[in-house]
């Protein structure tokens, strides 16, 4: 349990919600939703029809949220074999769709600027001077944190660097960083450059964890034994919550606990996990976490990043940090004294006054998360992705799935791998001509992510049906 009532109340910055303590126990039982019992499909052929997918969508209690988003229109003259439909967008892992409310939210900030000029900092019901507080409660709910633990600021890679300032403090005997061998390049580059910045050498200070020979994803047991082995000389463990390429969801609580037991600091890159997987950061106890908000959190391309600093560090003004005026305590920030006194919690790591338009866009999206709630989104996501998995097994037998089959080890995304005989780029272009939008990682992988806020069963059916036809077509052409 996180906060016993005898503990002193954490600073709240005037924002007051409790962090959810742990994953609700009923979640495991609802791993497979009735309309999508994955085993049933393959055996009986049930579920393989468009009608079945439509019926499952009709039974989805979150279905109406789809109407809150702008789907890219189908291309002029697009040939769509599955009939009249909007584009099939399964790319929320890369860039979330635009919530309809974003335009209005941005407009109102532009109006404020036009009407008040600089006075917009203090006028209106949402003055810019406190704009960074406006998304924090909702953002904290998405990642299972207390508001004092969360700030929105900068962007993801910048925040990873900023968090490594206090949480990567290498010494001669404890200098290593543990990451994944196939980490997103930006993460690899960030940690390698931090190691060099401190005068160490990535060749001896960077520990990379990869899957076993012949396997695609990491086993938790292997991560834990690496922590046993390397823990005493490791300063920081920094993995991703959901692996961007394979879609693997790591056992964040087990890995965090094991790393902390070894005396390591722990940070998570939640770029592909925030708004996708269930997160209980306060209860799980990493030192920090960073994420972007333009993937599953739909705040727009290049928009502002999110950052978590655990509450046990909230009042620690002695933490070594890069400082800037926006991290200075609010009570006298505008007194313009030079000496830095940090705000409690994650707010104390801000540097600059925040980009108001990005925060406004994020706010519009987070309102939808508040409406849906993460446990309900996760329930739906488990069902929809199980359905997608079953369709792939039934209709695309030659396609290999890189993502773990265990539902608790994946989020929304499935990563598909094609044989070397399949010209992936041509498949991708053929899908685009059908207004089916997914992404590929050459040479051989396709990432497909039904985002539970706006995707459903029929999207998965349309995607698989179209891909099956495209693969036939491409193979036929290759044989000519």
Ligand X SMILES: *Cc1c(COP(=O)(O)O)cnc(C)c1O
Parallel, antiparallel, or unpaired: how do β-strands 88-89 and 436-437 relate? parallel
Instruction: Give the shortest CB-199-to-ligand X separation in angstroms.
Output: 25
Q: Least distance from C-beta 264 to ligand X, angstroms? A: 20
Binding site annotation covers 287?
Answer: no
Interface with ligand X by CB under 6 A: which residues? 155-157, 184, 186-187, 240, 244, 269, 271-272, 292
Determine whether the annotation assigns residue 272 to a binding site.
yes
Peptide bond into 242 cis (omega under 30): no
User: Is 313 labeled as ligand-binding?
Assistant: no
Tokens 């998570």 belong to residue: 268
Which is nearer to ligand X, 80 or 289 (by Cβ)?
Answer: 289
Least gap, CB of 364 to ligand X (angstroms) = 19
Give min distance, CB of 272 to ligand X, in A.
Answer: 5
Q: Are 232 and 174 in contact (CB under 8 A)?
A: yes
Kindly state the smallest distance separating residue 394's Cβ from ligand X, in Å: 30
Whichever of 98 and 233 has its CB closer to ligand X, that residue is 98
- Residue 187 labelled as part of a binding site: yes
Give least dist CB 91 to ligand X, A: 13
Give the other-Cβ count within 10 Å of 445's Cβ: 17
Tell me if 412 sits within 8 A of 438, measured CB to CB. Answer: no
CA distance 208 to 195: 14
Residue number with CB closer to ligand X (184 or 280): 184
Q: Which is nearer to ligand X, 244 or 457 (CB)?
A: 244
Query: Is position 225 annotated in a ligand binding site?
Result: no
Question: Which CB atom, from 156 or from 283, has the smaller least distance to ligand X?
Answer: 156
Q: Does 286 appear as a known binding residue?
A: no
| Residue 86 marked ligand-binding | no
CB-wise, 157 or 350, nearer to ligand X? 157
Is 185 flagged in the annotation as binding? yes
Annotated binding-site members? 156-157, 184-187, 240, 269, 272, 294, 325, 353
Annotated binding-site members for pyridoxal 5'-phosphate? 156-157, 184-187, 240, 269, 272, 294, 325, 353
């Amino acid at each position: 349990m996180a906060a016993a009532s005898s503990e002193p109340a954490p600073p709240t910055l005037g924002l007051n919600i409790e962090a959810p303590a742990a994953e609700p126990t009923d979640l495991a039982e609802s791993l497979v939703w009735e309309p999508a019992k994955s085993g049933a499909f393959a055996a009986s052929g049930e579920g393989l029809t468009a009608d079945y997918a439509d019926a499952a969508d009709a039974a989805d209690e979150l279905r109406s949220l789809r109407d809150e988003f702008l789907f890219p229109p189908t291309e002029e003259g697009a040939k769509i074999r599955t009939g009249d439909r909007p584009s099939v967008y399964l790319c929320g892992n890369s860039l979330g769709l635009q919530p309809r409310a974003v335009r209005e939210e941005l407009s109102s900030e532009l109006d404020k600027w036009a009407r008040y000029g600089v006075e917009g900092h203090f006028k209106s019901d949402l003055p810019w001077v406190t704009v960074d507080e406006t998304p924090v409660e909702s953002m904290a709910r998405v990642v299972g944190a207390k508001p004092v633990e969360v700030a929105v600021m900068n962007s993801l890679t910048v925040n990873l660097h900023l968090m490594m300032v206090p949480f990567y403090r290498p010494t001669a005997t404890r200098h290593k960083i543990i990451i994944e061998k196939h980490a997103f390049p930006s993460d690899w580059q960030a940690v390698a450059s931090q190691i060099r910045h401190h005068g160490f050498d990535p060749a001896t200070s960077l520990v990379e964890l990869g899957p076993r020979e012949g396997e695609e994803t990491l086993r938790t047991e292997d991560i834990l034994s690496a922590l046993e082995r390397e823990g005493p000389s490791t300063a920081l463990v920094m993995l991703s919550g959901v692996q961007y390429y394979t879609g693997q969801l790591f056992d964040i609580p087990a890995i965090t606990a094991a790393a902390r037991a070894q005396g390591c600091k722990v940070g998570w890159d939640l770029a592909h996990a925030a708004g996708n997987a269930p997160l209980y950061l306060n209860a799980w106890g990493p030192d920090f976490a960073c994420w972007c908000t333009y993937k599953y959190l739909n705040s727009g391309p290049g928009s502002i990043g999110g950052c978590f600093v655990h509450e046990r560090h909230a009042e620690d003004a002695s933490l070594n940090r890069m400082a800037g005026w926006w991290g200075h305590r609010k009570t006298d920030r505008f007194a313009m004294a030079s000496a830095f006194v940090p705000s409690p919690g994650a707010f104390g790591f801000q540097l600059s006054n925040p980009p108001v338009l990005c925060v406004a866009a994020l706010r519009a999206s987070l309102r939808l998360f508040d409406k849906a709630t993460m446990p309900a989104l996760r329930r739906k996501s488990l069902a929809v992705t199980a359905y997608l998995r079953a369709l792939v097994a039934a209709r695309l037998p030659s396609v290999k799935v890189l993502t773990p089959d265990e539902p608790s080890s994946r989020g929304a995304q499935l990563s598909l791998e094609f044989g070397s005989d399949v010209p992936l780029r041509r498949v991708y272009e053929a899908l685009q001509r059908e207004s089916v939008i997914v992404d590929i990682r050459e040479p051989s992988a396709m990432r497909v992510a039904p985002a539970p806020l706006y995707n459903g069963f029929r999207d998965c059916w349309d995607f698989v049906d179209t891909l099956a036809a495209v693969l036939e077509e491409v193979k036929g052409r290759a044989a000519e």
